[in-house]
Structure 1
Amino acid sequence: MIAIWIIAVLAGAFALCFVGAPAGFWVAALAVWIAVGLAAHLIGAAAAIVLAALLVLPMLVVAIVPLRRALVSRRLRPVFRSIMPKMSATESAAIEAGTVWWDAALFSGRPDWNVLLKTPAPSLTAEEQSFLDNETEQLCDLSSDWDSTSLWQDLPPDAWAFAKEKGFLGMIIPRRYGGLEFSAYAHSQVIQKLSTRCSAASVSVMVPNSLGPAELLLHYGTEQQKNHYLPRLARGDDIPCFALTNPYAGSDAASITDRGVVCVGEFQGQQVLGFRVTWRKRYITLAPIATVLGLAFRAHDPDGLLGDKADLGITCALIPRDHPGVVIGRRHWPLNAVFQNGPTTGDDVFVPLDMVIGGRAQVGNGWRMLMECLAAGRAISLPSSNVGMGKLAVRGVSAYSAIRRQFNLPVAQFEAVQEPLARMGGHLYAIDAVRRLSASALDQGEKPSVISAIAKYHVTERARIIVNDGMDVIGGKGICMGPGNFLARAYQQIPIAITVEGANIMTRALIIFGQGAIRCHPFVLTLMRTASDRSDGALAAFDRALFGHFGFVFRNMARALMFALTGGLFIAAPRDAAPQLSADYRRATRLSTALALLADISMATLGGSLKRREAITGRLGDVLSQLFIISSILKRFEDDGRPEEDLPLVRWALDDAFHRAGEAVEGVLSNYPNRLVAGFVRALAFPFGLHLPKPDDSTGARIATLLRTDNPSRRRLLADSWFPRMEVDRIAAGDVAFALYPQIEAIERRLKGEIAAKRIERLPQDLGRLDGWAERAEALGLIDAAERAVIAQFVTHADMVVQVDDFPADFGAADNARALMERSHVPSVQDAAE
């Protein structure tokens, strides 16, 4: 009976931890337990008094809030203050920028999947769909990677004129200023489609619509600034750029050395207050052609002209290109991606206070402004452009591997090729799902800074895998440059996305978990704020957050153990989810609980040093990221109507994300500095080990089959791409041959007996001999004239796909030089001097 009585209290404590019961329930439960023991004569009166003093009394202190606050929280606050990592003002601004969304649910340890599934699926208005189908299609027709990189070193002039005329540069600007006022999803769809055709087009459209003057003006500009600039930006009369990166402050943008000193200067014949600014900027997209320069600098006020603060902080100004002292440098050349990019400098340039975005009221608020806007822009620009590159690669490579024969088989039927094809298809499904869910969050009014960092990092990394795998599959075709090569420029340009808008190494190691753990955690940010605030007014908030945090930790410990012992069997899957994926919802919930537990234990045991342990924070960030990717995949499958034929893509993408999350957890535990703590977490959350295997070969083979044939699943995977037409570009030959190939296979299957009987040989691998084979087959009555015509059409287009471009021995350098001399003015010494 005593054993049962003791087991009862342990089970009850575990249950109360599991449900996160408040302290009052603990007091009542412990009192009842002691009373039962006393009534059943399992303990005496003295033992009951001792147990009440040891268990009930402390819990009673916790339950009585004023008493708890005075006796416990007031004493723990300085201890907590010493444990928590210190934050600078710029770190605080970055952490507090934007909003939290589904990422907070994933960090809670108990995500409500029904909330996610009720989120509206992304959609376009009729006007947005028309723009995507017509104007965006036309801009794709007017541009190509080959022409941009080899002929114009820029977006072609006709394409530039069309983009300005049709409002591509003002997609985010409201209609009242002359813009298109598109949704975030429409913006994303346009960038994605342009990226399946021409990187110069996508980047040239992307930059004015993401982190730049238009967005900063919309949120922070004065009415006068909005009324002047936004209509000009919408029409393309002004081309904007934003100058942030400094040679000595790349990823650490908050430490920019560009300096502006408050002074009185002359502007348009009047003495006005402003800044004397000196700057050195580089990597500034659109700078070489910009007419208006957004500039970030650190403002100083040594003479107190604006107040009593000397270091005012980062400030953003909007300066016309022709303003005295502004210097636009020559161009950078980023890996053959010939969008306009270059440096800008200025020395002691007088910038009137009216040129500060938002005027005097926004002096010193530039860092928060940038972080708020980047939280939105980062979720669209690079994820959309890299999904576009992924679709370009999958479309071209899958078509090539279907029609290209080696050893008398299409290369797509070789298991060695099916493996990279499966990776390409699975990763594309996942990153497109992430893009769609991220854009949906923005359209609901969110500015999810952590999610945008996850999307930027993981979409660009997986796009790199897709393009690299594509190059491996097409082999020599991929490495020979020319207008017939659909993939080489994407291969060259992929590292650009890895680098810009926050280098991926820093994004993973510092931002995703470093920002996510503080911002998404239900209690940590409040604890950090109130622990630093020594006033009595903050004590109540600290007290609530502290004991809420204690309950949160114990709840997740209980949940982690229960899920481990039962294999997550009793985790409730969402009511409205696809039943085929119920186990995946349960696995994701269990992983969410483990992440919450790992994060809290890491913050408690490592304290401020956690900031410097980037290998650990990077892996913890990977777990959060994979959970968001898993969420995106599950949501996409529901939004698409649960198409059964997509399940191989869904299964591969989910298994890959779970496996990566498992590797990240294992990496944390295996390298944890406190081995005792690591062992405790492993025993609690994973006593039977982590069982999250990679996608299997059979799933990969099904994906390869989906990609090598025309079917609804492949069409959904490549939806809203630019599909070339022969009258526009000969790379369309691959799509034409791909469409014809099933008829070639049907002829081959029908003649299998004739080939076996040696009435005719098998279809030759050499396309040059296929016409002769068709002639013999028709003469023997084995095929009709229509089938021979199909074969001839296939030969014409498939041969264009297989062949690679060649050039004169000097690549036409002499002819190009002569043509350039004929159409160009060669400057004299006097011209050069002027």
Structure 2
Amino acid sequence: MSIVLPLLAVVIATGIAAYHRWSLALWSALMAAFLLVAWFFGGNSTLTIVLAVLAAVVAIPLLVPALRKSLVTAPLLKFYTRILPPLSDTERTALEAGTVGFEGQLFSGMPEWSQLLKLPKPELSAEEQAFLDGPCEELCGMVDNWEIDHVRADLPPQMWEYVKRNKFFGLNIPKEYGGLGFTALMNHKVIQKLASISTVVSSTVGVPNSLGPAELLMHYGTDEQKAHYLPRLADGREVPCFALTGPFAGSDATSIPDYGIVCSGDWNGAKVLGVRLTLNKRYITLAPVATLIGVAFRMYDPDGLLGDKKDIGISLALVPHDADGLEIGRRHFPLNSPFQNGPIRGKDVFVPLSQLIGGEDYAGQGWRMLMECLSIGRSITLPSTASGGARMGAVVTGSYARIRKQFGLSIGRFEGVEEALARMGGRAYAISALSQATAAAVARGENPAVPSTISKYHCTTMGREVAMDVMDVIGGKGIILGPRNFAGRAWQASPVAITVEGANIMTRSLMIFGQGAILCHPWVMKEMKATQIPDAGERIDAFDSALFGHIGAAISNAVRSLWFGLTWSRFGRAPGDDYTRRYYRKMNRYSANLAVMADISMLMLGGKLKFKESLSGRLGDVLSQLYIASSMLKRYEDEGRPDSDQPLLAWAFHDAVNKIETALSGALRNFPVRPVAWLLWPIIFPWGRRAQAPSDRLGHKVASLLMTPSDARDRLAEGIFTTPGENNPAGRIISYLPKFVMAEPVERKFLKALKSHEIEALEFEDQLVEGVREGWITAEEADQLRELRTMTLDTIMVDDFDPEELRSAGYRDLVAHEQRSSRAVA
């Protein structure tokens, strides 16, 4: 009699039930059926009975609620409560402020892809599209980057007036208050388009529509505050900024040292109750030109004028720029990118309680208000800026690489350049999909706390990588500043986005997984909330439901992780077509891998996990790449599964899964509890690491796509400013590509004649004349080659200056001072 059959029956029954997440009752029935079948076909009777008894011993107490709760749940609740890491009020507020979308499915280990695919395709209204094609396009056409960046270090007056008159500062302010009432998706589209031509213009427009007075007033402002300020913010009568960051509290907004003391003071000729502010802020965008400043500060009431509470907490107030005691107007100079940014200082600045955002009722609620609104800046402004820059960088560099030739060959045909072009194309595709997905979530009314940090970190990081590759490919064209340079300023400005709205190192190592492990996990938050229920019976019931849901999911994830690893993710239910179904199956595997790693990490490390930043960062990378890949697949579906986009999707997807496996293996190799890591390795990587970086063959396809006019290239360029013009060298180069491709056969014929010495003239114009005379080319083809030469020169030429043009006014003042000193000495 076989002992293998009963054991096999147990493994198969458990595996099937766990894989599909069937209930314990169904598992018990399946186990009994499989053991019966095993015994019927000759299985060892004694072993079959023993296994059946063991299954019953496990199942019966768990299937009887009263037994389970008294014997298992209650002791585990006491243990869980004892080891549960304490959450500060600020941490609790940050967690409760966010909502969970599809990222929760990715954390579950068993994603319901229908939830992603049934989300509506992100689309603009007719009014929004008209604004994008009209005022936004016109504003882009007004941009002269050399004048803005080098000559004025500011927007010219006519651009400021145009921005205000066309309500660019009121994109998201409701129409009832004089704004445009556009969606968050439209905000994304506007910033993306402006960023493709000028980061200074995009930041100028982006900040008022991001975290700032308007956003906070719309959520929390009193009726009087909304009625007074929102119309003025919408039409530009008030230019806003928001002062949060200071020298001693950068990303840690809870440690703000700026304070306000409740007292009486004069305001508009009346004696009122208010706060006297002392503040020292820096890195505040639009501060030098702002007329209305939102200020975050800690509010104190030492004299008990408002009640018994002395430390009221973080509060937000609106302060006029001309308030007594306020110092504002000086500028920082962020990496040669002259967007308006500067410090704000103040001593004994009095503002009445009516200037608290939301009024006195919201005193001390500033941290919650910030947490509920910070996702706008992280979800839209910075990712959209990266998307505009990456899209522009990819398509213009693709054109440049086709037009620019060395050794008689387009430089884009060299494999080293192909590698850079492939990275640009794949990352631009990923960035654009990720930034749009997160903006669409905000537009649906969500507060995507975790996706916003994913989007901010990865869009800006990949955007910087694209900017670096652009500079490497275009070489001298990029490093010589001047009106013809389309890339140098973007490269200089790329670290700015890395730094603001939470430094990227902190965002990756602390925030993505730190928030995701609690907020996105399907059971952890429920378990934590269950421990806070006052009623003992209800507490036990809630914890019992969450605990055994968690245990069942954990077992299922381990089984699914092992199964997908053993079968190379080739089996399992998945959506998509014949091309993308394999991608969804891989995502199922990595989702299960993440869930297993997250559960084991939290179980083994508990509260210490928050201090294991390297581990947290790697697990955050897994969650991030899953979210990025799902955003790309959603984009591919929304656009009708275009075959020509497949190289871009494939490159970006293979890059994502390679990063996932790199992060998982790094987490296992460095896991603090080594025996656990040894046990986890065969569950995560039963055949070892399999994912590879995108192949050279795939990279060649992506590079060729960027260098050839096509619908896929056009889709990559959607939403950026490609209109050629005197002040848009990138737009001109992009427009040359179709003509260049059409002229290439004529050029090859002409070069053949030159190489064979059939044409002997030395000057280009003389060569054309001789070529026509000798019959090598027609007169029309000669004109085509003249145009080709003109386009090529415009593409590769750089600027030069008289030395005096590059000297600053400060230098001239210095020379004048030295001359005066010399005359005085003489």
Q: When the two structures are superposed, what TM-score results if normalisation uses the length of structure 2?
A: 0.93
Contact 1:771 1:795 in 2 (8 A): no
Counterpart residue number, 1:191: 191
Counterpart residue number, 2:821: none
Counterpart residue number, 1:625: 624
Counterpart residue number, 1:504: 504
Structure 1 residue 820 displacement after superposition = 14
Structure 1 residue 399 displacement after superposition = 1.9
Contact 1:733 1:798 in 2 (8 A): no
Structure 1 residue 140 displacement after superposition = 1.1
Contact 1:277 1:348 in 2 (8 A): yes
Counterpart residue number, 2:389: 389
Contact 2:483 2:727 in 1 (8 A): no
Structure 1 residue 58 displacement after superposition = 4.6
Q: Which residue identity is paired with 1:648?
A: P
> In structure 2, what is the Cα distance between the partners aligned to 1:118 and 1:709?
34
Counterpart residue number, 2:125: 125
Contact 1:300 1:310 in 2 (8 A): yes
**Range with bigger deviation, 489-498 or 323-332:** 323-332
> In structure 2, what is the Cα distance between the partners aligned to 1:401 and 1:255?
49
> Compared with structure 1, are the counterparts of its residues 55 and 138 closer, same or farther at alpha carbon in structure 2 (3 Å cutoff)?
same
Counterpart residue number, 1:746: 745
Task: State how 1:178-217 maps to structure 2 within 5 Å.
Answer: 178-217=178-217
> Compared with structure 1, are the counterparts of its residues 731 and 101 closer, same or farther at alpha carbon in structure 2 (3 Å cutoff)?
closer
Counterpart residue number, 2:343: 343
Structure 1 residue 740 displacement after superposition = 2.6
Contact 1:523 1:549 in 2 (8 A): yes
> In structure 2, what is the Cα distance between the partners aligned to 1:67 and 1:110?
30
> In structure 1, what is the Cα distance between the partners aligned to 2:535 and 2:353?
37
Counterpart residue number, 2:294: 294
> In structure 2, what is the Cα distance between the partners aligned to 1:723 and 1:548?
53
Counterpart residue number, 1:636: 635
Once the two structures are superposed, residues 487-536 of structure 1 have per-residue CA deviations (whole angstroms, 9 ceiling, x without a partner) of 00000000000000111001101111000110000111122233355651
Structure 1 residue 69 displacement after superposition = 2.5
**Range with bigger deviation, 752-761 or 129-138:** 752-761
Task: State how 1:266-415 maps to structure 2 within 5 Å.
Answer: 266-415=266-415
> In structure 2, what is the Cα distance between the partners aligned to 1:217 and 1:475?
47
**Range with bigger deviation, 127-136 or 503-512:** 127-136
Counterpart residue number, 1:571: 572
> In structure 2, what is the Cα distance between the partners aligned to 1:749 and 1:580?
38
Structure 1 residue 52 displacement after superposition = 7.8
Contact 1:404 1:411 in 2 (8 A): yes
Structure 1 residue 465 displacement after superposition = 0.9
The counterpart of 1:809, out of the listed 803, 812, 815, is: 803
> In structure 2, what is the Cα distance between the partners aligned to 1:111 and 1:129?
34
Once the two structures are superposed, residues 117-152 of structure 1 have per-residue CA deviations (whole angstroms, 9 ceiling, x without a partner) of 221111111111111112111111222332111111
Counterpart residue number, 2:554: 553
Structure 1 residue 369 displacement after superposition = 1.1
> Compared with structure 1, are the counterparts of its residues 639 and 33 closer, same or farther at alpha carbon in structure 2 (3 Å cutoff)?
closer
Contact 1:97 1:375 in 2 (8 A): no
1:782 aligns with 2:781: no
Task: State how 1:520-559 maps to structure 2 within 5 Å.
Answer: 520-532=520-532, 535-536=535-536, 537-559=538-560
> Compared with structure 1, are the counterparts of its residues 701 and 58 closer, same or farther at alpha carbon in structure 2 (3 Å cutoff)?
closer
Structure 1 residue 404 displacement after superposition = 1.2
Structure 1 residue 653 displacement after superposition = 0.8
Counterpart residue number, 2:673: 674
1:653 aligns with 2:648: no
Q: Which residue identity is paired with 1:326?
A: L
> Compared with structure 1, are the counterparts of its residues 176 and 518 closer, same or farther at alpha carbon in structure 2 (3 Å cutoff)?
same
Contact 1:23 1:60 in 2 (8 A): no
> Compared with structure 1, are the counterparts of its residues 769 and 428 closer, same or farther at alpha carbon in structure 2 (3 Å cutoff)?
farther
Contact 1:107 1:595 in 2 (8 A): yes
Q: Which residue identity is paired with 1:805?
A: D
Q: Which residue identity is paired with 2:215?
A: E
SS of corresponding position for 1:122: coil
Gaps of 5+ in 2: 817-826
**Range with bigger deviation, 204-213 or 797-806:** 797-806
**Range with bigger deviation, 54-63 or 406-415:** 54-63
Counterpart residue number, 2:820: none
Contact 2:107 2:623 in 1 (8 A): yes
Once the two structures are superposed, residues 435-487 of structure 1 have per-residue CA deviations (whole angstroms, 9 ceiling, x without a partner) of 12112212222111100111111011111111101111111221111111110
| Count of matched residue positions in the alignment of Structure 1 and Structure 2 | 813
Gaps of 5+ in 1: 823-834
**Range with bigger deviation, 258-267 or 776-785:** 258-267
SS of corresponding position for 1:346: strand
Contact 1:637 1:643 in 2 (8 A): yes
SS of corresponding position for 1:797: helix
SS of corresponding position for 2:496: helix
Structure 1 residue 103 displacement after superposition = 0.5
Structure 1 residue 771 displacement after superposition = 2.9
Q: Which residue identity is paired with 1:667?
A: G
Counterpart residue number, 1:584: 583
Task: State how 1:723-762 maps to structure 2 within 5 Å.
Answer: 723-729=722-728, 732-750=731-749, 754=753, 758-760=757-759
SS of corresponding position for 2:418: helix
Contact 2:243 2:294 in 1 (8 A): yes
> In structure 2, what is the Cα distance between the partners aligned to 1:325 and 1:278?
9
> Compared with structure 1, are the counterparts of its residues 735 and 772 closer, same or farther at alpha carbon in structure 2 (3 Å cutoff)?
farther
1:799 aligns with 2:798: no
SS of corresponding position for 1:379: helix
> In structure 1, what is the Cα distance between the partners aligned to 2:39 and 2:567?
34
> In structure 1, what is the Cα distance between the partners aligned to 2:85 and 2:559?
27
Q: Which residue identity is paired with 1:669?
A: L
1:440 aligns with 2:434: no
> In structure 2, what is the Cα distance between the partners aligned to 1:31 and 1:732?
70
SS of corresponding position for 1:134: helix
Q: When the two structures are superposed, what TM-score results if normalisation uses the length of structure 1?
A: 0.93
> In structure 2, what is the Cα distance between the partners aligned to 1:158 and 1:252?
38
SS of corresponding position for 1:309: coil
Contact 2:750 2:777 in 1 (8 A): no
Once the two structures are superposed, residues 82-112 of structure 1 have per-residue CA deviations (whole angstroms, 9 ceiling, x without a partner) of 3333211111111221211011010011112
Counterpart residue number, 2:824: none
Counterpart residue number, 1:77: 77
Percentage of matched positions with identical amino acids: 46
Counterpart residue number, 1:16: 17
> In structure 2, what is the Cα distance between the partners aligned to 1:721 and 1:393?
10
Counterpart residue number, 1:515: 515
> Compared with structure 1, are the counterparts of its residues 802 and 32 closer, same or farther at alpha carbon in structure 2 (3 Å cutoff)?
closer
**Range with bigger deviation, 399-408 or 585-594:** 399-408
Q: Which residue identity is paired with 1:798?
A: T
Counterpart residue number, 1:99: 99
**Range with bigger deviation, 119-128 or 603-612:** 119-128
1:250 aligns with 2:244: no
> Compared with structure 1, are the counterparts of its residues 534 and 181 closer, same or farther at alpha carbon in structure 2 (3 Å cutoff)?
same
Structure 1 residue 810 displacement after superposition = 3.7
**Range with bigger deviation, 301-310 or 347-356:** 301-310
**Range with bigger deviation, 1-10 or 424-433:** 1-10
Q: Which residue identity is paired with 1:179?
A: G
Q: Which residue identity is paired with 1:22?
A: S
> In structure 1, what is the Cα distance between the partners aligned to 2:186 and 2:607?
42
SS of corresponding position for 1:617: helix
Counterpart residue number, 2:819: none
Q: Which residue identity is paired with 1:346?
A: G
Contact 1:284 1:343 in 2 (8 A): yes
Contact 2:721 2:731 in 1 (8 A): no
Q: Which residue identity is paired with 1:745?
A: E
> In structure 2, what is the Cα distance between the partners aligned to 1:484 and 1:757?
36
Contact 2:195 2:388 in 1 (8 A): yes
> In structure 2, what is the Cα distance between the partners aligned to 1:22 and 1:136?
56
Contact 1:292 1:321 in 2 (8 A): yes
